[in-house]
Amino acid sequence: MNIINFINRFPDESSCVEFIRQKRGQAGIVCKRCDCTKHYWLANKKSFQCSSCSFRTSIKSGTVMENSNLPIRTWLLAMTFITATKKGFSASELQRQLGMKRYEPVFRMYHKLRKVMGKRDDIYRLEDMVEYDEAFVGQATKSPNKLKRGRGSQKRSIVAVMAESTVLEDLETGKSDKSCRYFKMKKIKNLEAKTAQNLVREFIDPNSVLQTDMSTTFSDLSDCIDVHVKEISGTEKGHFNLKWVHIAISNLKKHLQTYHMISERMMQNYLDEFCYKLNRRYFGQKLFDRLIIAAIYPYWHDCG
């Protein structure tokens, strides 16, 4: 969605409220107190009222906007900007585009949106053939002595990168190549075998063929996955290489340069936005509507 579409579609706050009301109504509201699904709309309270026990669910409750005082229109406009580009916005650039006086609410809003992107992607496991590698990302500080301590300190983070990657063979030439589908990126604390085992268990289907390098991190994955192949990059066939994770890591590093500074604490959020957009790279203009679903129903399984 571009800015002209946005202005036409959402001319004021009430059009935004109506839009969210409809979206929530389509999927159904469940009363937190009695599980009843029949609700009335109270326009002046911007709330759904349970038909059996009268419990009220505000329009923002249970969504990414819960506990936020910002108008819904500001949220929708932020989502428009964020989904309009494959690159990331810095929070100060987003603040400027939104015309907001204070930086802090924009910063918090953006990180909440990144979190729901991550939650959405966490619903899915990778399957078939999966490449897995680890990388150090984030800007290295020039002098270790100048590394700021405490909040906002910056050092390089270790990131585990996983990619679904399928071998395609050209029937005429017999040459093979690999095509990629979905990616996952997770900040990890260390390169220990246990860490890799936990990630594989959580995010990769056990029936997959897992491809890694020869690192000791991946020395014992037999309990987590059926087939584990160590990289044989020099072979003629070249089926088992880490082509797509290496491309993704290189693109991630370029992407993170957009940001002036990323604290280690927030790193996963940046990874989540990068991965969310990467996994939906062919969605184009539909990305806005997808993000709306993620923002309203962080745990709803039906739609990607």
Among 17, 20, 50, 249, binds Zn ion (CB under 5 A): 50
**CB-wise, 33 or 281, nearer to Zn ion?**
33
**CB-wise, 37 or 207, nearer to Zn ion?**
37
Closest approach of Zn ion to the CB of residue 29, in Å: 10
Q: Does 55 bind Zn ion (CB under 5 A)?
A: yes
Among 18, 19, 36, 258, binds Zn ion (CB under 5 A): 36
DSSP symbols for 67-130: T--S-HHHHHHHHHHHHH-SSPPPHHHHHHHHT-S-HHHHHHHHHHHHHHHHHHHHTPPB-SEE
**CB-wise, 30 or 214, nearer to Zn ion?**
30
**CB-wise, 46 or 253, nearer to Zn ion?**
46
Closest approach of Zn ion to the CB of residue 40, in Å: 11
Among 3, 43, 53, 168, binds Zn ion (CB under 5 A): 53
Q: Are 41 and 48 in contact (CB under 8 A)?
A: yes
Label residue 95 exposed, middle or buried (CB < 10 Å: 0-12, 13-18, 19+). buried
Q: Does 168 bind Zn ion (CB under 5 A)?
A: no
**CB-wise, 59 or 159, nearer to Zn ion?**
59
- As a whole number of angstroms, the distance between CA 258 and CA 117 comes to 19
Closest approach of Zn ion to the CB of residue 34, in Å: 3
Q: Are 84 and 286 in contact (CB under 8 A)?
A: no
**CB-wise, 52 or 153, nearer to Zn ion?**
52
Among 5, 7, 33, 286, binds Zn ion (CB under 5 A): 33
Q: What are phi and psi of 260, to 5 degrees?
A: -65, -50
Q: Does 27 bind Zn ion (CB under 5 A)?
A: no
SS3 148: coil
SS3 213: coil
Residues facing 130 on adjacent strands: 164, 210
CA dihedral 67, 70, 73, 74 (to 10 degrees): -120
Closest approach of Zn ion to the CB of residue 59, in Å: 17
Closest approach of Zn ion to the CB of residue 52, in Å: 5
Q: Which residues bind Zn ion (CB under 5 A)?
A: 31, 33-34, 36, 50, 53, 55
